[in-house]
C-alpha cells in the first residue's frame, strides 16, 4: 500500500504550496507542483521554457497537452503517494489524471478544496516571496524570513514571482473562476471533495486538513481501494 494521494485545490494565493509542504512533512510523500515544474523549465532557457513563460507571465494556463506531458514525466512513482498542487486545472487535465490512475489501478484519497475570501487572496499574493533556490514560500507580513530577502532554509535570494504582479493576479483569479472552479463539482460528484477554510494561519488550516482527512486515508486493515 502506498502513501496518501491528494489533490490540493483552490484559487491562486489560497496557500496550497505552503500547506503542501506541511502535508508532505506529515505524510512523507512527494509534493508535485506543476507551477514549480514550469518555473524550473523557464530557468533552463530552452524553447519549451520560452513558450511556457509566455503563458505564465500573462497569468494564462499553459496548454493542456504540455501540462499533461510534463506531469506524466514527473509521476513515475505515483503508487508511493503524492500531493498534487496546481494540477488539475481543467476538465481535460482531470480526466487525464483519472486515466493515469486507472491505468495503475490506484485512486485518489481526497481532493482538498481550500477556501478564502478574495481580499485574503489578493493580500497573500501581493506579499508572497519565494526562494529562487529551494522554492520555499514566505510572506512579507504573515510569514517573514528571519533576514529580509534571504531564505531561512538555504540562504537563497527571495523574489516576487512575475505573475504575482497586480495586473497578472487579476487575470489569474479570472482564469481560475472560468476554467478551474468547475472541477469543484467534478470532484464533489466523485465524493472526493473536502472543503477547508484557509483564511486563517497555516497551522490552523493544517489542523483542519487533518480533521477533514479522517476517514479518507487508506490505513492498514482499512483499505478502501487498492491496498
Q: Do 83 and 6 contact (CB within 8 A), yes or no?
A: yes
Q: Which of 60, 91, 92, 161 is catalytic?
A: 161
Of the residues 35, 109, 129, 136, which one makes contact with ligand AMP according to CB under 6 A? 35
Query: Which of positions 54-113 make contact with ligand AMP (CB under 6 A)?
Result: 55-56, 59-62, 67, 86-87, 89, 93
Residue whose CB is less far from ligand AMP, 4 or 168: 168
Distance CA 141, CA 96 (A): 38
Q: Which of 84, 40, 34 is nearest to 62 (CA)?
A: 34
Q: Identify whether 16 is a catalytic site residue.
A: yes
Distance CA 194, CA 196 (A): 6
Distance CA 90, CA 22 (A): 25
User: Per-residue contact track with ligand AMP, 140 to 169, x per CB under 6 A?
Assistant: -----------------------x------
Q: Which of 24, 172, 194, 218 is catalytic?
A: 172
Residue whose CB is less far from ligand AMP, 35 or 202: 35
Q: Do 89 and 33 contact (CB within 8 A), yes or no?
A: no
Residue whose CB is less far from ligand AMP, 24 or 89: 89
Q: 126-129: long-range contacts at Cβ-Cβ below 8 A with a sequence spacing of 24 or more?
A: 126/164, 126/166, 126/169, 128/13, 128/160, 128/161, 128/164, 129/158, 129/159, 129/160
Query: Which of positions 110-139 make contact with ligand AMP (CB under 6 A)?
Result: none
Min separation Cβ 86 and ligand AMP, Å: 3
Backbone phi, psi, residue 139, to 5°: -135, 135
| Binding of residue 186 to ligand AMP (CB under 6 A) | no
Min separation Cβ 8 and ligand AMP, Å: 10
| Binding of residue 21 to ligand AMP (CB under 6 A) | no
| Binding of residue 11 to ligand AMP (CB under 6 A) | no
Q: Identify whether 89 is a catalytic site residue.
A: yes
DSSP state of 62: P
Q: Do 179 and 90 contact (CB within 8 A), yes or no?
A: yes
Q: Identify whether 189 is a catalytic site residue.
A: no
Q: Identify whether 172 is a catalytic site residue.
A: yes
In Å, what is the CA distance from 96 to each residue of 4, 69, 80, 139, 191? Answer: 19, 10, 19, 34, 18
Q: Identify whether 128 is a catalytic site residue.
A: yes
Q: Which residues bind ligand AMP (CB under 6 A)?
A: 12, 34-35, 38, 55-56, 59-62, 67, 86-87, 89, 93, 163, 172
Residues designated catalytic: 16, 89, 128, 161, 172
Amino acid at each position: 500500500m502506498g502513501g496518501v494521494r491528494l489533490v490540493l485545490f483552490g484559487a491562486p494565493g489560497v496557500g496550497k504550496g505552503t500547506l503542501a509542504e506541511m502535508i508532505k512533512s506529515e505524510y512523507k510523500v512527494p509534493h508535485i507542483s506543476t507551477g514549480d515544474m514550469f518555473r524550473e523549465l523557464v530557468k533552463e532557457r530552452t524553447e519549451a521554457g520560452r513558450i511556457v513563460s509566455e503563458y505564465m507571465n500573462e497569468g494564462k494556463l499553459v496548454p493542456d497537452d504540455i501540462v499533461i506531458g510534463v506531469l506524466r514525466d514527473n509521476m513515475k512513482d505515483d503508487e508511493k503517494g503524492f500531493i498534487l498542487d496546481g494540477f488539475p486545472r481543467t476538465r481535460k487535465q482531470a480526466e487525464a489524471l483519472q486515466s493515469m490512475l486507472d491505468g495503475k489501478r490506484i485512486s485518489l484519497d481526497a481532493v482538498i478544496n481550500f477556501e478564502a475570501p478574495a481580499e485574503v487572496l489578493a493580500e497573500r499574493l501581493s506579499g508572497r516571496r519565494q526562494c529562487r533556490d529551494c522554492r520555499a514560500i514566505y510572506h512579507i507580513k504573515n510569514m517573514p524570513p528571519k533576514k529580509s530577502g534571504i531564505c531561512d532554509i538555504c540562504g537563497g535570494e527571495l523574489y516576487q514571482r512575475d505573475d504575482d504582479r497586480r495586473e497578472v493576479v487579476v487575470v489569474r483569479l479570472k482564469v481560475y473562476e472560468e476554467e478551474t472552479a468547475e472541477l469543484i463539482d467534478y470532484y464533489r460528484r466523485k465524493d472526493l471533495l473536502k472543503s477547508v477554510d484557509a483564511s486563517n494561519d497555516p497551522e490552523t488550516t493544517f489542523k483542519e486538513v487533518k480533521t477533514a482527512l479522517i476517514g479518507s486515508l487508506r490505513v492498514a486493515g482499512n483499505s478502501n481501494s487498492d491496498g
